[in-house]
Chains A and B, each alone.
Chain A
Amino acid sequence: MNEQQAQQGTIRCSEAVRQLWDYLDNAVSPEDQERIEQHLSFCRRCCGELEFAKELRAFLASGAVEEIPPDVKDKLEGFVEEL
């Protein structure tokens, strides 16, 4: 970051990366959103961080469904029937 960027309120990479997930959640203020987008407009590495954050979120979401083993299912169904 050069001096001119600092004077314009541009954020550093560490600050941009720290807020990327909140940015994807639309959970940052309009001012922070503007600063992040300004940073992303010239920082290729943080654009990479952003793309990876999207992939990691999708990856996490894809792991949400886990098969229930048949024996566990039988046991829990038995529990429900006994209520």
Chain B
Amino acid sequence: MSETAVHDRTKESFQRLAAAELPALYSLARRLVRDGAEDLVQEALLRAYRSFATLKDDVAAPRWLKSILVNVFRDQLRKQARSVDEVRVAEVEDFSLYRTLVDEDPFPYSDTLHQDFLHSFSKEDVREVLMRMPEIYRAPLVLRYMDGFSTKEIARLLGVPLGTVLARLHRGRKRFESEMWDYAAQAGLLIGRGVR
């Protein structure tokens, strides 16, 4: 998170804050949505500008902007009202990537099998894996493990009970592991498997 000094609530002050936080906001938006990251950032900036006067703590400004972006994302999700692929989630409830790697041994000559598997993924590969997940599982995972929000904060931002966030995080982790394995096989990241 970058340090941004906000001393007043003028338009110029907001513009300085927004300009400094653009990379972080765009990065978060790209991990939340497959398409439309720019639109998400623009809508978040508009909302933030309108309520800039309500920002109390200058130090919290970068986090505040991210929270507004997540709110916009949540509202978009509600409008889309997509159904979730629950069956697919149930299938992966007991999936263990650690065990699968041991059993399948995709890098037979490696002494660091699990690390080698993770390091075979580029950032773009990771994004593609995330995009294969339903939004309701992807968003908590991104916010918790990539952007460092607490589970309570995520519950507030997404407007769901804490128990729901914890359940979605658990299923999201399992889904992410399963999607990593499937993606690696399809994209040819495993030695002797798939084609790239």
Contact = CB atoms under 8 A, between A and B. Distances in A.
Give chain B's interface secondary structure class: helix
Contacts of A60: 126, 141, 145-146
B61 to A, nearest CB: 14
Contacts, number: 88
Chain B CB within 10 A, most for which of A14, A48, A55, A68: A68
Interface in B5-59: 11, 14-15, 18-19, 22-24, 26-27, 30-31, 38, 41-42, 45-46, 49
Interface in B86-141: 94, 96-99, 102, 114-115, 118, 121, 123, 126-127, 141
Given A21-B169, A60-B146, A61-B146, A79 B42 contact: yes
A73 B22 contact: yes
Interface residues of B, number: 42
A52 B14 contact: no
Contacts of A79: 42, 45
Interface in A6-23: 14, 17-18, 21-22
B22 A64 contact: no
A63 B119 CA distance: 11
Given A68-B23, A76-B38, A61 B114 contact: no
A48 B97 CA distance: 11
A32 interface: no
Nearest to A48: B98
A72 B55 CA distance: 27
A45 B121 CA distance: 24
Given A52-B114, A66-B31, A72 B38 contact: yes
Contacts of A83: 11, 14-15, 18, 45-46, 49
Interface string A44-83: 0100110111011101110111111000110111011101
Given A22-B166, A63-B127, 12 more contacts: A45-B99, A56-B177, A61-B145, A64-B147, A65-B23, A66-B27, A77-B22, A79-B45, A80-B15, A80-B45, A83-B15, A83-B46
Interface of B: 11, 14-15, 18-19, 22-24, 26-27, 30-31, 38, 41-42, 45-46, 49, 94, 96-99, 102, 114-115, 118, 121, 123, 126-127, 141, 145-148, 151, 166, 169-170, 173, 177
7 contacts: A48-B102, A66-B26, A73-B22, A76-B26, A76-B42, A80-B15, A80-B19
